[in-house]
Amino acid sequence: MLRVLNVFCGSIPGLNHAEQDQLRQHNVVPCDDFASVTGLLKNPKLGVLLSLLFAASMWFYVQQVLIAYQRTDAAAHDRPRGNLSDLYPRWLGARELLLHHRDPYSPEITREIQAGYYGRPLDPSRPNDPKDQQGFAYPLYVVFLLAPTITLPFTLVQAAFRWFLVILTAATVPLWLRALRWHPSKTTMAILTILTLGSFPAVQGIKLQQLSLVVAGLIAGCAALLAAGHLLLAGVVLALATIKPQLAIPLAAWLVLWSFNDWRHRQCFLWGFGGTMAALLAAAQYLLPGWVSRFREALVAYRDYTGGARSVLDLLTTPALGRILTALALLGLAVVCWRLRRAATDSDHFVSVTVLVLTVTIGVIPTFAPYNQVLLLPAIFLLVQHWSALWHKNIALRLVAGIAVLVVAWPWLVALSLAMASLALPPASVQRAWFVPFYTSNTIPVAVLALFSLLMGHLQDSH
């Protein structure tokens, strides 16, 4: 799909070679290297239409194939289905804490959450009931973000939040492009936005009302603020993103290290981040003294009833080998961060390390949920921006790039195939292939990380 994006971009019509070169100097890079490949380059509107086709196919797959299969399977095995909103456990916990002073980590609240999420409390005597207890396994200060909604009916909150996620996910595209200092054409911007909203991680996150999309938006906002020089506000925004610590803490660790290495000019970030974190933690302690231990117990329980937290590296190899690979990845990341800790925010080094931290994070965190892969967007955008240099460097790099493209594009290609198959086959037949788009799901973070690491090496050589 990365190559497809470049094919869609095309060269900017009406500009001579000198003007094209001037645009390249300002990071407005027209993708004219594939002009001989296809006539699509002369018709950017067709590129937008094809992007819409891919996106629509993914939404069709999720609604008419995946969810339809899940409903049929649940009915056949007497599995409960309620609102199935990942926002609901956090919303109910926030409401009960702020309005009725009840402990959101308590078993009583967990059973009330189950009644809404699944439609009834889970019954251990029923072997087909889900294992995920849907407990309140978040830092307590998430309630402050949800506080404005707790007096509203959840049906209204759910509908509004779904549209909020659509808008926020679309907004992450220009935010990341600003952070990456890439200024593509309006057509390219439209294609990137459409494909982002039509990617499986985004569609899944919107359907589930997952707070990972909120965290991704906050992280993108933090990166854009850093690029604009607003360090204090960037620290505040990143602190809010720690409602999902596993996604935000690695980035926070890198930026804290970066800040300490030029205290005079970067201390504002630390004041913003540290001050906001202190305020959130203190306010949470005031609301529920001892909440940290309750949160830790909730995390342990979550690991138990979900069968143990595993990363994509664990799934692709073995738990033992996965831990070794995770340690090596983190060690390599630490070395890169240490070597480039003095990089300025307007440098390619700073951008590359920040994106690398997020990409490694998705590969090593103890969860393999696809919706977290929205944090791979900046790496994919950088790969698209520098695709021509990668593709023409050597045959080995071209082979790796081709494999990565196939891995990333696979869910879209299968979704489109299933949408076309639905025109001729009965729904039950199409639904039997519900799992095929997931074939490369766990491989995508590894493929993107591998190719992005090669890109960093190429950029280092060019400098």
Domain ranges of the chain: 2-462
pLDDT on residue 456: 87
Q: What is the mean pLDDT of residues 283-293?
A: 96
Structure tokens at 343: 């990089």
**Which of 205, 196, 114, 225 has the alpha carbon at shortest distance from 162?**
205
pLDDT on residue 14: 35
User: Could you report the per-residue pLDDT of 432-442, keeping only the tens digit for each?
Assistant: 999 999 999 99
Q: How confident is the model at residue 8 (pLDDT cuts 50, 70, 90)?
A: very low
User: Could you report the per-residue pLDDT of 194-224, keeping only the tens digit for each?
Assistant: 999 999 999 999 999 999 999 999 999 999 9
Q: How far is CA 40 from CA 28, 45, 50, 387, in A?
A: 20, 9, 10, 18
Spell out the residues 6+ positions from residue 461 whose beta carbon is closer than 8 angstroms to its own: none
φ/ψ of 31, rounded to 5, equals -95, 75
User: Could you report the per-residue pLDDT of 39-78, keeping only the tens digit for each?
Assistant: 444 467 888 999 999 999 999 999 999 999 999 999 999 9
φ/ψ of 10, rounded to 5, equals 70, 175
% of the chain surpassing 70 pLDDT: 89
User: Could you report the per-residue pLDDT of 84-134, keeping only the tens digit for each?
Assistant: 999 999 999 999 999 999 999 999 999 999 999 999 999 989 989 998 899
Q: What is the model's pTM?
A: 0.89
Q: What is the 3-state secondary structure (H, E, C) of 194-235?
A: HHHHCCHHHHHHHHHCCHHHHHHHHHHHHHHHHHHCCHHHHH
Instruction: Count the neighbouring beta carbons within 10 Å of the beta carbon of residue 459.
Output: 16
Q: How far apart are CA 29 and CA 12, in angstroms?
A: 9
Residue 61 DSSP code: I
Q: How far apart are the first and last CA of the chain?
A: 28
Residue 408 DSSP code: H
User: Could you report the per-residue pLDDT of 231-242, keeping only the tens digit for each?
Assistant: 999 999 999 999
pLDDT on residue 4: 40
Q: How far apart are CA 446 and CA 224, in angstroms?
A: 25
Report whether pLDDT(425) > 70. Answer: yes
Render 344-380 in DSSP notation, one character per residue.
Answer: -TTSHHHHHHHHHHHHHHHHHSS---GGGGGGGHHHH
Q: How far is CA 160 from CA 157, 272, 462, in A?
A: 5, 30, 47
Query: Treating both helix axes as pointing N-terminal to C-terminal, what angle do 154-180 and 211-228 enclose, rounded to 10 degrees?
Result: 30
Residue 65 DSSP code: I
User: Could you report the per-residue pLDDT of 140-198, keeping only the tens digit for each?
Assistant: 999 999 999 999 999 999 999 999 999 999 999 999 999 999 999 999 999 999 999 99
Q: How far is CA 61 from CA 1, 10, 371, 421, in A?
A: 18, 29, 16, 11
Cβ pair 351, 244 in contact under 8 A = no
Spell out the residues 6+ positions from residue 119 whose beta carbon is closer than 8 angstroms to its own: 80, 81, 82
